[in-house]
């Protein structure tokens, strides 16, 4: 990289970092950063160190400064965008969390097979398969000791199908629920479920290319996420590590 290109890149990185931190107050780089007298003094200093060895040292320092500026730029961008990224996925207060508008891709009713009569299924995955839903949303692993309490009987409402199952380990419950939203002209636009939570922001957890939002509710750990037309939740008396392992098992 030439000195001119290095200077230009460093200048632009610093300008972009300033814009991220202070907004659009600085639209373009100024034509003259320093007074003519100051620039003449700088030129004399540069000539004094224009020896090959000193020049390499100067370029090394300049490159290190550029890398530091790049790191600052990434840090500022992440800090500025992080909060808004999670707010794009969900909306929450101190007590409730719900998926944000646009997170659900409503399913075409013709792509979902709804049985004519009621039916019971051995597990939630069997029920989802029977209804023609093939995305990965159900944990393949459960914490040791949990057993399913009852068979699955999906609830079909206007534009919404609810798959709900309950597990128990002694007196400790664990709930897995999948809501499938269907395209329907009579539906309320982007009206998703409100889920109770304790005070504090959700914690994002990445798995299978999907961001899962981890929360607590009355001390119980839970997760909320979207996958296509599915709104998915897990909540129960399990540790956060067990919850993450359940989520990981979905995509194995």
Same domain, 36 and 113: no
Same-domain status, 84 and 147: no
**Given a cut of 50, is residue 163 above it in pLDDT?**
yes
Q: For residue 137, what pLDDT is reported?
A: 97
pLDDT at 1: 54
104 and 208 assigned to the same domain: yes
Q: Across the chain, what does the average pLDDT equal?
A: 77
Name 168's bridge partners. 147, 173
CA 67 to chain centre: 27
> Is 100 a residue whose pLDDT tops 70?
yes
Average pLDDT over residues 183-188: 73
Model confidence at 89, pLDDT cuts 50, 70, 90, reads confident
Residues 44, 237: Cα–Cα separation, whole Å: 71
Output DSSP code: residue 188: P
Q: Reply yes or no on whether the pLDDT at 30 is more than 60.
A: no
pLDDT score of 120 more than 80: yes
- Exposed / middle / buried, residue 72 (Cβ in 10 Å: 0-12, 13-18, 19+): middle
Residues 108 and 50 reside in one and the same domain: no
DSSP characters over 106-164: PBPGGGS---SS---BSSHHHHHHHTT--SS-S-S---TT-EE-S-B--EEETTEEEEE
Residues 50 and 102 in one domain: no
How far is the C-alpha of 15 from the C-alpha of 28, rounded, in Å?
8
Confidence at residue 143, expressed as pLDDT on a 0 to 100 scale: 97
- In degrees, rounded to 5, the angle at the alpha carbon of residue 226 between the alpha carbons of residues 118 and 101 is 105
Domain boundary at 88, 117, 143, which?
Answer: 88
pLDDT attached to residue 118: 72
Helix (H) or strand (E) holding 233: strand 230-236
> Closest by alpha carbon to 48, among 58, 35, 38?
58
Which of 25-39, 89-103, 106-120, 131-145 has the weakest average pLDDT? 25-39
Of 128 and 98, the one with more pLDDT: 128
Q: Which two tokens stand for residue 71?
A: 């790191």
Same domain, residue pair 83 and 97: no
In angstroms, rounded to a whole number, what is the distance separating the alpha carbons of residues 124 and 138?
7
| Portion of the chain with pLDDT greater than 70, in percent | 63
pLDDT at position 157 is 83
Mean pLDDT, rounded, for 81-89: 55
Query: Is residue 138 domain-shared with residue 185, that is, in the same domain?
Result: yes
pLDDT band at 49 (very low <50, low <70, confident <90, very high): very low
Alpha carbon 1 to chain centroid, angstroms? 37
Q: Are both 98 and 184 inside the same structural domain?
A: yes
- What pLDDT band is residue 90 in, cutting at 50, 70 and 90? confident
Question: What is the reported pLDDT for 187?
Answer: 65
Tell me the average pLDDT across 110-120.
Answer: 83
Residue 75, pLDDT score: 47
123 and 158: one domain?
yes
- DSSP character string of 156-179: EETTEEEEEEEEEETTEEEEEEEE
Residue 32's CB is within 10 A of a number of other CB atoms, namely 7
Is the same domain home to 199 and 215? yes
Tell me if 139 sits within 8 A of 250, measured CB to CB. Answer: yes
Predicted confidence (pLDDT) at residue 35 exceeds the cutoff of 50: yes
Structural domain that includes position 194: 93-250
Which of 88, 109, 131 is the last residue before a domain boundary? 88
Please give the tally of structural domains in the chain.
Answer: 2
Last residue of a domain, one of 55, 71, 88: 88
Sole residue written with tokens 């969390």: 97
Residue 62, pLDDT score: 58
Q: Are 52 and 157 within one domain?
A: no
Is pLDDT of 68 > 80? no
Q: Are residues 8 and 120 in the same domain?
A: no
Q: For residue 215, name the pLDDT band (cuts at 50, 70, 90).
A: very high
């Amino acid at each position: 990289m030439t000195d001119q290109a290095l200077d230009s890149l460093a200048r632009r990185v610093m300008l972009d970092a300033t814009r991220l931190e202070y907004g659009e107050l600085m639209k373009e780089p100024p034509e003259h950063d320093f007074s003519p007298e100051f620039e003449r003094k700088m030129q004399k200093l540069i000539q004094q160190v224009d020896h090959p060895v000193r020049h390499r040292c100067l370029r090394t320092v300049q490159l290190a400064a550029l890398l530091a500026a790049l790191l600052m730029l990434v840090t500022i961008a992440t800090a500025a965008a992080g909060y808004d990224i999670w707010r794009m996925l969900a909306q929450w207060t101190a007590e409730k969390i719900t998926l944000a508008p646009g997170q659900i891709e409503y399913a075409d009713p013709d792509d979902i097979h709804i049985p004519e009569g009621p039916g019971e299924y051995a597990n939630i995955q069997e029920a989802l398969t029977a209804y023609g839903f093939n995305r990965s949303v159900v944990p393949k692993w459960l914490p040791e000791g949990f057993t399913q309490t009852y068979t699955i009987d999906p609830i079909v409402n206007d534009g919404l199908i609810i798959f709900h199952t309950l597990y128990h380990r002694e007196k400790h419950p664990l709930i897995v629920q999948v809501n499938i939203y269907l395209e329907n002209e009579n539906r309320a636009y982007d009206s998703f479920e409100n889920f109770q939570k304790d005070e504090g922001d959700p914690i994002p957890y990445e798995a299978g290319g999907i961001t899962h939002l981890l929360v607590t509710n009355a001390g119980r750990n839970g997760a909320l996420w979207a996958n296509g037309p599915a709104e998915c939740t897990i909540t129960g008396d399990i540790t956060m590590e067990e919850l993450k392992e359940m989520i990981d098992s979905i995509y194995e």
